[in-house]
Structure 1
Amino acid sequence: MLNELDFNPHESKALKHATHIVNNGIKKYIEVNPFLEYLWSIQMNELLQSYKISAFEQVKLTEEEKIEY
C-alpha cells in the first residue's frame, strides 16, 4: 500500500519528529563499522541463497549463445 501511494516512511516528518523526541533533541549519527557491515553482507547473502532469491533475473542461454572456454 505504501508503494502505491509513493510514501517513504523513512523520510516522513512524523518519523523525524519521533526521533527528535526519543533522542531528547540531540542529533545522533550511526558510526560506520566496516566489520559489522561485512558480517551483515555475509548474513544477507546466506539468507538470499537459502531462499534462492536473486536480485537478477534468471538468465537462460541458448546453445548458440554459450561460450566455450
Structure 2
Amino acid sequence: MPAKVSDDITGYFPLGELQNLAGIDKQDGKWGGGVEGAALAENWIRRSYQLWTQWTGYLVEYSLEPANQ
C-alpha cells in the first residue's frame, strides 16, 4: 500500500502517494492520464508558453552571431 504524504504539501504536482516499484521505495505515483492528464498538460502549457516563446526567440536571435557560438 502506498505511503500517504501530508495534505499540507501543495503545488502543481504534489506528492500525494509514494509507492515501491521493483524494490525501489518512495517513488511518486503516476499522475494524470486520460482526461485528467490532458487537463494538467493544457494548464502547464498555458502557464509556461510565454517563457518558452521568450527562450526560443533568444536562442534564434543570439545563436546566429558567430561571437556567441
For Structure 1 versus Structure 2, the TM-score category normalised by the shorter chain is 0.3 to 0.5
Q: TM-score, normalised by structure 1?
A: 0.33
Structure with the larger helix share: 2
Structure with the larger strand share: 2
